[in-house]
Amino acid sequence: MAARSRFSTCTVVDSKYFVPWLAADGPLAYSPNEPPTRDYFFQYTWILPHIFDQDVNLREHRYFGSPLKYDVDFLFDFWTKVRSDAGAALPRYCALGLFSPTEIRTPLAAYRYVRKPYQTAGFILIQHGSYQWIAEEDQPLIEAGEVVLYRGIGQAGVFRQLRFRPDDLSYANGEIWRRYLALQAKMLSDSVLSFNTIHDRIRRCETGGLRDGTWLADQLIADAGLDIQAVGFAKDLWESAQQSYSLDPNIGKRKFGPNYVVVRTALSNIRITTFFAGESEVKIVDPSRVQELESFGCDVQFIGPTEPCNDTAPELPC
């Protein structure tokens, strides 16, 4: 069945702001403060058909994108509560995204939610159709607008972290930075494109029904005129932005350890994958807004922005 789209998925408000919901207006602009009256709008194969692989039967029920309805019980419970109790819809953090020629901030909303069966206090994070739940004890800074992130590097002895100040970039690298910010803004401007680009490198059995493994964002950055294959700042920047971190310390310490690093950044600097992709995975948008906290079993090597070679630098305006 060919994918069809009946609803706006544009997330842009006033040309430079992004909502964390599926749309800025229209039927998909629902939020916990103004929830939809029907569960129909949680049926992603009907409202967001373009996030699914072409082989998926769009008549199937994939609530919140998941093929297993019992996996989404916590989300149905959350939405039932916010429909019946206005107090449950009070966000612990909620911010619009922002784009300017010099910075990018991601939209994200966080709501307190106690998850069964162990009555564990935590937060549901919402961003463009993706949901994650994380225990409060693992992320106690969410209400302050920050997160602590973990990245395991296996047996590697060195973790390389890009560090720079945007105001100190050379003219050529400054142009790369501006194009990169514009690309991130483009990906955040539509919930379908946002969903597809944050899942484009994920290849897991749980995400087999999505358009995973497409590397769509790599094509978009190439279309933006940035060479991420040649040595230079564009390559450094893109590789840094594609590093996956986890909100769950056990993922970094055990699953991808034993060596790992811990960093801190603002909630307005992360993009989240959806809950059934596993690993509580996020990516960082602006590496200059990351603060390294600790490293375990490894050293951290800070690298500066590499100047592009003359034959790979983007064409710059006069």
Encode pLDDT of 162-189 as tens digits: 999 999 999 999 999 999 999 999 999 9
Other CB atoms within a 10 A radius of the CB of residue 112 amount to 15
On whether residue 311 sits in a domain, the answer given is: no
Per the structure, how many domains does the chain have? 1
Helix ranges (H only) for the chain are: 44-47, 73-84, 171-188, 191-198, 216-223, 233-241, 249-250
Higher pLDDT pick, 150 / 203: 150
The chain-wide mean pLDDT, for the chain, equals 93
φ, ψ dihedrals at 161, nearest 5° = -125, 125
DSSP designation for 48: -
Q: Identify whether 36 is preceded by a cis peptide bond (ω within 30 of 0).
A: no
Q: What is the mean pLDDT of residues 218-232?
A: 95
On whether residue 90 sits in a domain, the answer given is: yes
- Single-letter code of the amino acid located at 257: G
Residue-wise pLDDT tens digits, 40-53? 999 999 999 999 99
CA dihedral 234, 240, 244, 247 (to 10 degrees): -130
Query: Above pLDDT 90, what percent of the chain?
Result: 87
CA dihedral 54, 56, 57, 59 (to 10 degrees): -110
Q: What is the pTM of this model?
A: 0.93
Query: What pLDDT was estimated at residue 292?
Result: 87
Residue-wise pLDDT tens digits, 120-148? 999 999 999 999 999 999 999 999 999 99
On whether residue 77 sits in a domain, the answer given is: yes
Predicted confidence (pLDDT) at residue 76 exceeds the cutoff of 50: yes
Cβ partners under 8 Å of residue 194, min gap 6: 11, 127, 128, 129, 187, 188, 271
Residue-wise pLDDT tens digits, 148-168? 999 999 999 999 999 999 999
Residue 132 near residue 247 (C-beta atoms within 8 A): yes
Task: Determine the Cα–Cα distance for residues 279 and 170; give it in Å rounded to an integer.
Answer: 37
On whether residue 46 sits in a domain, the answer given is: yes
On whether residue 199 sits in a domain, the answer given is: yes
Using 50, 70 and 90 to split pLDDT, how confident is the model at 2? very low
Task: Determine the Cα–Cα distance for residues 13 and 250; give it in Å rounded to an integer.
Answer: 37
Query: What pLDDT was estimated at residue 318?
Result: 30
Q: What is the mean pLDDT of residues 250-279?
A: 97
For 286, counting Cβ atoms within 10 Å of its Cβ (0-12 exposed, 13-18 middle, 19+ buried), the class is buried
Closest of 161, 136, 159, 163 to residue 257, by C-alpha: 159
- Single-letter code of the amino acid located at 294: E
On whether residue 209 sits in a domain, the answer given is: yes
Predicted confidence (pLDDT) at residue 65 exceeds the cutoff of 50: yes
Residue 60 near residue 15 (C-beta atoms within 8 A): no
Query: What pLDDT was estimated at residue 1?
Result: 42
Task: Determine the Cα–Cα distance for residues 302 and 318; give it in Å rounded to an integer.
Answer: 33
Closest of 150, 199, 92, 117 to residue 297, by C-alpha: 150
On whether residue 183 sits in a domain, the answer given is: yes
Instruction: Find the length of the chain.
Output: 318
Q: Angle at Cα 187 formed by Cα 184 and Cα 189, nearest 5°?
A: 105
Residue 91 belongs to domain spanning: 12-303
On whether residue 55 sits in a domain, the answer given is: yes
